Amino acid sequence: MPRPPKGVTIADVAAQAGVSLSTVSRALNGNPTVDPALAERVREAAASLDYRASPLARSLVLGRTQTIAVVVPDLGNPTFQQVLRGLSRAAAADDYHVLVADSGESVDEERLLAVETRRRTDGIVLCAPRMPQDELERLVGGVRPVVLVNREAGPGVPSVRADYRSALADELAHLHGLGHRSIVYLAGIERSIANAARLEAIEQFRAEHPDVRVAELAGGVDFDAGAAAAPAVLASGATAVLAFNDLVAMGLQSAVQAAGCRVPDDLSIVGFDDIPFARHTTPALTTAAVPAAELGAQAWQQLRRLLDADEPGDPLVLAPTLTVRGSSGPAPA
Protein backbone atom coordinates (compact mmCIF):
# COMPACT_ATOMS: atom_id res chain seq x y z
CA MET A 1 0.00 0.00 0.00
CA PRO A 2 2.28 2.77 -1.27
CA ARG A 3 1.54 6.14 0.20
CA PRO A 4 1.59 9.02 -2.29
CA PRO A 5 5.07 9.19 -3.88
CA LYS A 6 7.42 10.20 -1.11
CA GLY A 7 7.38 14.00 -1.13
CA VAL A 8 9.47 15.21 -4.04
CA THR A 9 11.65 17.99 -2.70
CA ILE A 10 13.34 20.98 -4.14
CA ALA A 11 16.54 18.95 -4.35
CA ASP A 12 14.95 16.54 -6.81
CA VAL A 13 13.97 19.41 -9.04
CA ALA A 14 17.45 20.88 -8.79
CA ALA A 15 19.00 17.59 -9.83
CA GLN A 16 16.58 17.13 -12.68
CA ALA A 17 17.24 20.62 -13.99
CA GLY A 18 20.94 20.45 -13.33
CA VAL A 19 21.04 23.55 -11.18
CA SER A 20 21.38 24.41 -7.52
CA LEU A 21 18.64 24.53 -4.90
CA SER A 22 18.77 28.29 -4.74
CA THR A 23 18.13 28.65 -8.43
CA VAL A 24 15.09 26.45 -8.23
CA SER A 25 13.77 28.45 -5.32
CA ARG A 26 14.34 31.71 -7.14
CA ALA A 27 12.91 30.54 -10.41
CA LEU A 28 9.78 29.14 -8.86
CA ASN A 29 9.22 32.26 -6.82
CA GLY A 30 9.49 34.48 -9.87
CA ASN A 31 12.72 36.12 -8.84
CA PRO A 32 13.72 38.21 -11.89
CA THR A 33 17.45 37.72 -11.37
CA VAL A 34 17.26 34.34 -13.01
CA ASP A 35 18.26 33.56 -16.56
CA PRO A 36 15.02 33.10 -18.50
CA ALA A 37 16.29 29.94 -20.15
CA LEU A 38 17.24 28.41 -16.81
CA ALA A 39 13.99 29.47 -15.27
CA GLU A 40 12.12 27.70 -18.00
CA ARG A 41 14.17 24.56 -17.55
CA VAL A 42 13.42 24.64 -13.83
CA ARG A 43 9.71 25.08 -14.41
CA GLU A 44 9.70 22.13 -16.76
CA ALA A 45 11.56 19.96 -14.29
CA ALA A 46 9.18 20.99 -11.54
CA ALA A 47 6.18 20.26 -13.72
CA SER A 48 7.49 16.90 -14.81
CA LEU A 49 8.02 15.91 -11.19
CA ASP A 50 4.74 17.48 -10.12
CA TYR A 51 6.74 19.40 -7.55
CA ARG A 52 5.24 21.92 -5.21
CA ALA A 53 7.06 23.56 -2.34
CA SER A 54 6.15 22.24 1.07
CA PRO A 55 3.80 24.73 2.72
CA LEU A 56 5.17 23.67 6.09
CA ALA A 57 8.78 24.41 5.28
CA ARG A 58 7.83 27.67 3.64
CA SER A 59 5.78 28.66 6.65
CA LEU A 60 8.69 28.01 8.97
CA VAL A 61 11.15 30.07 7.02
CA LEU A 62 8.81 32.81 5.86
CA GLY A 63 7.11 33.23 9.18
CA ARG A 64 3.63 33.04 7.73
CA THR A 65 1.26 30.19 7.16
CA GLN A 66 -1.23 31.64 4.70
CA THR A 67 -3.83 30.48 7.17
CA ILE A 68 -6.10 32.29 9.59
CA ALA A 69 -8.12 30.95 12.46
CA VAL A 70 -11.72 31.61 13.36
CA VAL A 71 -13.21 30.77 16.72
CA VAL A 72 -16.97 30.51 16.99
CA PRO A 73 -19.13 29.62 19.98
CA ASP A 74 -21.26 27.12 18.08
CA LEU A 75 -21.09 25.84 14.54
CA GLY A 76 -24.75 24.90 14.90
CA ASN A 77 -25.75 28.54 15.17
CA PRO A 78 -26.92 29.92 11.83
CA THR A 79 -25.38 33.31 12.43
CA PHE A 80 -21.88 31.94 12.90
CA GLN A 81 -22.38 29.55 10.06
CA GLN A 82 -22.93 32.53 7.81
CA VAL A 83 -20.02 34.42 9.30
CA LEU A 84 -17.82 31.43 8.63
CA ARG A 85 -19.12 31.12 5.12
CA GLY A 86 -18.49 34.76 4.29
CA LEU A 87 -15.09 34.66 5.94
CA SER A 88 -14.04 31.45 4.27
CA ARG A 89 -14.90 32.61 0.79
CA ALA A 90 -13.33 36.01 1.19
CA ALA A 91 -10.12 34.55 2.58
CA ALA A 92 -10.01 31.90 -0.13
CA ALA A 93 -10.25 34.62 -2.76
CA ASP A 94 -6.97 35.95 -1.39
CA ASP A 95 -5.37 32.51 -1.21
CA TYR A 96 -5.70 32.16 2.50
CA HIS A 97 -6.91 29.09 4.33
CA VAL A 98 -9.22 28.98 7.32
CA LEU A 99 -8.80 26.94 10.47
CA VAL A 100 -12.08 26.68 12.34
CA ALA A 101 -12.64 26.03 16.03
CA ASP A 102 -15.93 25.51 17.84
CA SER A 103 -15.73 26.50 21.49
CA GLY A 104 -18.99 24.81 22.38
CA GLU A 105 -20.28 27.98 24.05
CA SER A 106 -17.58 27.71 26.69
CA VAL A 107 -15.67 30.86 27.53
CA ASP A 108 -12.73 28.85 28.82
CA GLU A 109 -12.50 26.93 25.60
CA GLU A 110 -12.77 30.15 23.67
CA ARG A 111 -9.67 31.49 25.35
CA LEU A 112 -7.74 28.26 24.99
CA LEU A 113 -8.68 27.74 21.38
CA ALA A 114 -7.87 31.33 20.52
CA VAL A 115 -4.29 31.14 21.73
CA GLU A 116 -3.78 27.62 20.47
CA THR A 117 -5.13 28.16 16.96
CA ARG A 118 -3.44 31.51 16.74
CA ARG A 119 -0.06 29.86 17.06
CA ARG A 120 -0.68 27.82 13.94
CA THR A 121 -1.94 30.73 11.89
CA ASP A 122 -1.15 34.29 10.87
CA GLY A 123 -4.12 35.87 12.57
CA ILE A 124 -7.47 35.18 14.11
CA VAL A 125 -11.10 36.17 13.87
CA LEU A 126 -12.77 35.92 17.22
CA CYS A 127 -16.48 35.49 17.83
CA ALA A 128 -16.81 35.52 21.60
CA PRO A 129 -20.21 36.92 22.50
CA ARG A 130 -20.19 35.74 26.09
CA MET A 131 -16.66 36.51 27.17
CA PRO A 132 -16.45 39.19 29.88
CA GLN A 133 -15.03 42.44 28.59
CA ASP A 134 -11.93 42.48 30.80
CA GLU A 135 -11.07 38.94 29.90
CA LEU A 136 -11.55 39.73 26.23
CA GLU A 137 -9.24 42.73 26.41
CA ARG A 138 -6.60 40.67 28.14
CA LEU A 139 -6.92 37.96 25.53
CA VAL A 140 -6.66 40.09 22.40
CA GLY A 141 -3.24 41.34 23.43
CA GLY A 142 -1.87 37.84 23.17
CA VAL A 143 -3.36 36.81 19.86
CA ARG A 144 -2.79 39.72 17.51
CA PRO A 145 -3.38 40.24 14.72
CA VAL A 146 -6.99 39.72 15.66
CA VAL A 147 -10.37 40.91 14.43
CA LEU A 148 -13.42 40.85 16.65
CA VAL A 149 -16.90 40.01 15.46
CA ASN A 150 -19.71 41.73 17.31
CA ARG A 151 -17.38 42.84 20.06
CA GLU A 152 -15.04 45.75 20.59
CA ALA A 153 -11.90 46.07 22.63
CA GLY A 154 -10.59 49.58 22.32
CA PRO A 155 -8.63 51.26 19.54
CA GLY A 156 -6.07 49.21 17.69
CA VAL A 157 -8.30 46.17 17.73
CA PRO A 158 -10.29 46.08 14.50
CA SER A 159 -13.81 44.80 14.70
CA VAL A 160 -16.90 44.28 12.62
CA ARG A 161 -20.29 44.26 14.18
CA ALA A 162 -23.94 44.67 13.54
CA ASP A 163 -25.68 47.58 15.20
CA TYR A 164 -28.12 45.68 17.38
CA ARG A 165 -29.18 48.82 19.15
CA SER A 166 -30.42 50.71 16.12
CA ALA A 167 -31.94 47.57 14.67
CA LEU A 168 -34.02 46.94 17.74
CA ALA A 169 -35.01 50.59 17.77
CA ASP A 170 -36.27 50.14 14.21
CA GLU A 171 -38.31 47.17 15.24
CA LEU A 172 -39.82 49.02 18.18
CA ALA A 173 -40.73 51.92 15.91
CA HIS A 174 -42.28 49.46 13.48
CA LEU A 175 -44.46 47.91 16.15
CA HIS A 176 -45.36 51.28 17.60
CA GLY A 177 -46.42 52.47 14.18
CA LEU A 178 -48.71 49.47 13.91
CA GLY A 179 -50.47 50.58 17.07
CA HIS A 180 -48.96 48.19 19.57
CA ARG A 181 -48.84 49.58 23.09
CA SER A 182 -48.04 46.48 25.07
CA ILE A 183 -44.93 44.70 23.95
CA VAL A 184 -42.91 41.84 25.36
CA TYR A 185 -39.17 41.47 24.88
CA LEU A 186 -37.94 37.91 25.09
CA ALA A 187 -34.43 38.38 26.39
CA GLY A 188 -31.41 36.29 25.45
CA ILE A 189 -28.50 35.38 27.66
CA GLU A 190 -28.13 37.95 30.43
CA ARG A 191 -24.41 38.59 30.17
CA SER A 192 -24.44 38.67 26.39
CA ILE A 193 -23.28 41.86 24.75
CA ALA A 194 -25.98 41.50 22.15
CA ASN A 195 -28.60 41.42 24.86
CA ALA A 196 -27.22 44.52 26.50
CA ALA A 197 -27.40 46.43 23.23
CA ARG A 198 -31.03 45.48 22.83
CA LEU A 199 -31.84 46.56 26.36
CA GLU A 200 -30.33 49.97 25.66
CA ALA A 201 -32.63 50.42 22.71
CA ILE A 202 -35.57 49.42 24.87
CA GLU A 203 -34.62 51.90 27.59
CA GLN A 204 -34.48 54.72 25.13
CA PHE A 205 -37.76 53.71 23.56
CA ARG A 206 -39.42 53.66 26.95
CA ALA A 207 -38.17 57.12 27.66
CA GLU A 208 -39.55 58.41 24.40
CA HIS A 209 -42.83 56.51 24.60
CA PRO A 210 -44.16 56.50 28.16
CA ASP A 211 -47.51 55.30 26.84
CA VAL A 212 -46.10 51.98 25.73
CA ARG A 213 -45.48 49.08 28.06
CA VAL A 214 -42.40 47.05 27.21
CA ALA A 215 -42.05 44.08 29.49
CA GLU A 216 -39.05 41.77 29.63
CA LEU A 217 -39.45 38.05 29.89
CA ALA A 218 -36.70 35.53 30.44
CA GLY A 219 -36.02 33.83 27.15
CA GLY A 220 -33.10 32.05 25.64
CA VAL A 221 -31.44 31.74 22.30
CA ASP A 222 -33.02 28.76 20.57
CA PHE A 223 -36.25 27.45 19.17
CA ASP A 224 -37.19 25.55 22.29
CA ALA A 225 -36.70 28.61 24.46
CA GLY A 226 -39.15 30.47 22.27
CA ALA A 227 -41.68 27.68 22.47
CA ALA A 228 -41.26 27.48 26.23
CA ALA A 229 -42.00 31.17 26.57
CA ALA A 230 -45.35 30.90 24.80
CA PRO A 231 -47.57 30.50 27.87
CA ALA A 232 -45.96 33.46 29.62
CA VAL A 233 -46.30 35.58 26.50
CA LEU A 234 -49.97 34.73 26.05
CA ALA A 235 -50.64 35.36 29.73
CA SER A 236 -48.99 38.76 29.56
CA GLY A 237 -51.70 40.19 27.36
CA ALA A 238 -49.15 41.83 25.10
CA THR A 239 -50.06 42.33 21.44
CA ALA A 240 -46.53 42.08 20.10
CA VAL A 241 -43.33 40.27 20.89
CA LEU A 242 -39.73 41.13 20.17
CA ALA A 243 -37.79 37.92 20.21
CA PHE A 244 -34.07 37.83 20.94
CA ASN A 245 -33.47 36.15 17.60
CA ASP A 246 -35.25 34.36 14.80
CA LEU A 247 -34.94 30.96 16.38
CA VAL A 248 -36.73 32.16 19.48
CA ALA A 249 -39.32 33.93 17.34
CA MET A 250 -39.97 30.83 15.32
CA GLY A 251 -40.30 28.66 18.38
CA LEU A 252 -42.69 31.14 19.90
CA GLN A 253 -44.71 31.48 16.74
CA SER A 254 -45.03 27.76 16.35
CA ALA A 255 -46.13 27.30 19.96
CA VAL A 256 -48.67 30.11 20.09
CA GLN A 257 -50.18 28.98 16.81
CA ALA A 258 -50.55 25.49 18.22
CA ALA A 259 -52.41 27.11 21.11
CA GLY A 260 -54.87 28.67 18.70
CA CYS A 261 -53.38 32.13 18.65
CA ARG A 262 -53.31 33.75 15.21
CA VAL A 263 -50.20 35.53 13.96
CA PRO A 264 -50.25 38.45 13.32
CA ASP A 265 -53.99 39.00 13.98
CA ASP A 266 -53.84 38.22 17.68
CA LEU A 267 -50.13 38.62 18.21
CA SER A 268 -47.35 40.22 16.19
CA ILE A 269 -43.96 38.59 16.35
CA VAL A 270 -40.67 40.03 15.19
CA GLY A 271 -37.37 38.21 15.22
CA PHE A 272 -33.75 39.16 14.80
CA ASP A 273 -31.01 38.07 12.38
CA ASP A 274 -32.97 37.05 9.29
CA ILE A 275 -31.61 33.56 9.17
CA PRO A 276 -32.29 31.78 5.88
CA PHE A 277 -35.52 30.23 7.08
CA ALA A 278 -37.07 33.37 8.45
CA ARG A 279 -38.80 34.05 5.15
CA HIS A 280 -40.13 30.54 5.02
CA THR A 281 -42.26 30.30 8.12
CA THR A 282 -46.00 30.72 7.93
CA PRO A 283 -46.49 33.59 8.15
CA ALA A 284 -43.01 34.71 7.13
CA LEU A 285 -41.10 36.38 9.90
CA THR A 286 -40.65 40.11 10.26
CA THR A 287 -37.10 40.57 11.42
CA ALA A 288 -33.98 42.70 11.40
CA ALA A 289 -31.68 41.31 8.74
CA VAL A 290 -28.18 41.00 10.13
CA PRO A 291 -25.72 40.57 7.25
CA ALA A 292 -23.79 37.75 8.87
CA ALA A 293 -21.98 36.55 5.76
CA GLU A 294 -21.00 40.13 5.00
CA LEU A 295 -19.75 40.45 8.55
CA GLY A 296 -17.49 37.48 7.89
CA ALA A 297 -16.27 38.88 4.59
CA GLN A 298 -15.52 42.24 6.17
CA ALA A 299 -13.75 40.57 9.05
CA TRP A 300 -11.39 39.08 6.49
CA GLN A 301 -10.79 42.48 4.90
CA GLN A 302 -9.91 43.89 8.29
CA LEU A 303 -7.57 41.03 9.03
CA ARG A 304 -5.99 41.24 5.62
CA ARG A 305 -5.22 44.86 6.19
CA LEU A 306 -3.51 43.96 9.43
CA LEU A 307 -1.56 41.22 7.71
CA ASP A 308 -0.52 43.35 4.75
CA ALA A 309 0.14 46.69 6.32
CA ASP A 310 0.03 46.11 10.04
CA GLU A 311 -2.29 49.05 10.43
CA PRO A 312 -5.69 48.41 11.95
CA GLY A 313 -8.76 49.62 10.11
CA ASP A 314 -11.53 51.52 11.82
CA PRO A 315 -14.18 49.47 13.59
CA LEU A 316 -16.87 48.64 11.10
CA VAL A 317 -20.53 48.86 12.01
CA LEU A 318 -23.09 47.34 9.72
CA ALA A 319 -26.72 48.33 10.17
CA PRO A 320 -29.22 45.48 10.01
CA THR A 321 -32.20 46.27 7.83
CA LEU A 322 -35.73 45.99 9.09
CA THR A 323 -37.39 43.36 6.97
CA VAL A 324 -41.15 43.44 7.24
CA ARG A 325 -42.96 40.22 6.45
CA GLY A 326 -46.20 38.63 7.50
CA SER A 327 -45.65 37.96 11.19
CA SER A 328 -46.23 41.56 12.23
CA GLY A 329 -49.42 43.51 11.66
CA PRO A 330 -51.74 46.09 13.20
CA ALA A 331 -52.48 45.73 16.87
CA PRO A 332 -55.81 44.04 17.54
CA ALA A 333 -58.59 46.48 18.42
Partner DNA sequence: CTGTTAGCGCGTTCAC
Partner DNA sequence: GTGAACGCGCTAACAG
- Residue 195 found at the interface with a second copy (CB under 8 A): no
Position among 1, 3, 33, 235 found at the interface with DNA (CB under 7 A):
33
User: What are the distances in angstroms from CA 12 to CA 4, 50, 52, 194, 330?
Assistant: 16, 11, 11, 56, 76
Does position 61 interact with DNA (CB under 7 A)? The reply is yes
Single-letter amino acid, residue 34: V
Q: Smaller CB distance to a second copy: residue 1 or 37?
A: 1
CB atoms within 10 A of CB 66: 16
C-alpha to C-alpha distance for 57 and 63, rounded to whole angstroms: 10
* Residue count of the chain: 333
Is residue 58 part of the contact set for DNA (CB under 7 A)?
yes
Closest CA relative to residue 278, chosen from 267, 292, 289:
289
Which does residue 133 touch among DNA, a second copy, none (CB within 5 to 8 A, set by kind)? Answer: none
Give CA–CA dist 302/66, Å, rounded: 15
Does 106 help bind DNA (rule: CB under 7 A)?
A: no
* Segment interacting with DNA (CB under 7 A) among 49-57, 91-99, 208-216, 244-252: 49-57
Stretch that binds DNA, among 15-23, 135-143, 155-163, 265-273 (CB under 7 A): 15-23
97 is in the binding site of which of a second copy, DNA, none (Cβ under 5 to 8 A by kind)? a second copy
Is 230 a binding residue for a second copy by CB under 8 A? The answer is no
**Of the candidates 295, 311, 318, 312, which has an alpha carbon nearest to the alpha carbon of residue 157?**
312
The binder of 134, among a second copy, DNA, none, by C-beta within 5 to 8 A per type, is none
User: Is residue 21 a contact residue for DNA (CB under 7 A)?
Assistant: yes
22/282 with CB nearer DNA:
22
Report yes or no: 289 and 300 within 8 Å, Cβ to Cβ.
no
Helices marked H in 94-242 — which ranges? Answer: 107-119, 133-143, 164-177, 193-208, 223-228, 230-236
Whole-angstrom distance, CA of residue 64 vs CA of residue 43: 24
φ, ψ dihedrals at 311, nearest 5°: -120, 120
Asked if 3 touches a second copy (CB under 8 A), the answer is yes
- Considering the complex, state which of residue 29 and residue 106 has its C-beta at the smaller distance from DNA: 29
Quick check: 70 binds DNA (CB under 7 A)?
A: no
CB of 275 to a second copy, least distance (A): 9
Under the rule (CB under 8 A), what is the footprint of a second copy?
1, 3-4, 52, 54-57, 59-60, 65, 67, 75-76, 81-82, 84-85, 88-89, 92, 97-102, 104, 117, 119-120, 141-144, 156, 223, 250-251, 254, 257, 276-277, 280-282, 310
